[in-house]
Amino acid sequence: MPRVFANWLCFALLAAATAAFAAPPLRVVASIPPLAHIARDLAGDWLALEVLLEGEIDAHHASLSWSQRRALEEADLVLWVGPQLEAALADPLGRLPEERVLSMAAVVSRGDADPHYWLDPERAAAFASVLAARLAALAPDRADALATAQARWSAALARQVAEIEGRLAGHGNRALVVEHQAWGHFARRFRLSIAGALSDESGVAAGPRTLARLAARRDVACVLVERLPASRRAARLAERLGVPVVAVDPLGRDLPAKAGYLHLLAAVAEGIASCLGNHAVPRP
């Protein structure tokens, strides 16, 4: 091989490698923290990840700012649950190409009224599998790494689920009163009993008859709220029942910024276990 051509080839290969290394990460916008946790578990710092609706923003009733709309338009991929949970995103996301949007509901919904799908580990795993494939399509050079990460994550999730099953087993005779209808998927997966809710899926408060029925229960372990301080209704019902108010956030908003989905699941299980009088679930 002529020296000049060899030198040019080496330079070209080095330039290509440098360009690949310097290439900006994929820009991924997740509507809520749990979806960001799953994406971060699969791809780590390789993604430029932004959470759209975090902090004290209510995903059900959020309105988007100009900067948030711009983030959606500039993203390589947008992750959201679906219009049942984030109604404000339906219109702007409907204007984006389908290949730039991934809806959790489109992947895992089975006609449920409850859109909190990530609280079912089986559905979270199904979403992660589709997400890994989407990311691999956007960055084929990382397909093998994504497949490996997704397989390891799935195995770790299976172990975590087994631990939670063991810690929450044997509490079928104790029930939870929940402030918000967000816990159906978790309760079904881990065979927990929910006595009732203080508001329905749309946020409409339960009436006096429902409150009286709940106050008459003798199997309630606690009143489960998402944030403290609890609402006056939740506090009063807990006082009438003689049970504690326990805060468990299904969105994991108080977790560290780079926490993963397994940490979210462990935190949820730990809070519910404390309500049921069990020991804490170990963090992954």
- Give the CA-trace dihedral at 44, 50, 51, 53, to 10 degrees: 180
Q: Higher pLDDT residue, 34 or 66?
A: 34
The tokens for 146 are: 């994504």
pTM here is 0.86
C-alpha–C-alpha distance, residues 182 and 248, integer Å:
11
Q: What is the pLDDT of residue 264?
A: 96
Asked if 182 and 152 sit in the same domain, the reply is no
Could you tell me the CATH number of the domain that includes residue 230?
A: 3.40.50.1980
Asked if 174 and 159 sit in the same domain, the reply is no
Asked if 227 and 124 sit in the same domain, the reply is no
Distance spanning both ends of the chain, measured CA to CA: 54
The band of 200, judged by pLDDT with boundaries at 50, 70 and 90, is confident
Asked if 51 and 76 sit in the same domain, the reply is yes
Mean pLDDT of 80-99: 93
The tokens for 2 are: 């002529």
* Residue 188 covered by a domain: yes
pLDDT of 76 strictly over 90: yes
With pLDDT > 70 as the criterion, what percentage of the chain qualifies?
A: 85
Asked if 157 and 190 sit in the same domain, the reply is no
Give the total number of structural domains in the chain.
2
Asked if 209 and 236 sit in the same domain, the reply is yes
Structural domain range at position 90: 23-164
Asked if 179 and 230 sit in the same domain, the reply is yes
Asked if 79 and 120 sit in the same domain, the reply is yes
* Contact indicator for 211, 242 with CB cutoff of 8 Å: no
Asked if 62 and 186 sit in the same domain, the reply is no
Asked if 190 and 104 sit in the same domain, the reply is no
Q: What is the pLDDT of residue 59?
A: 56
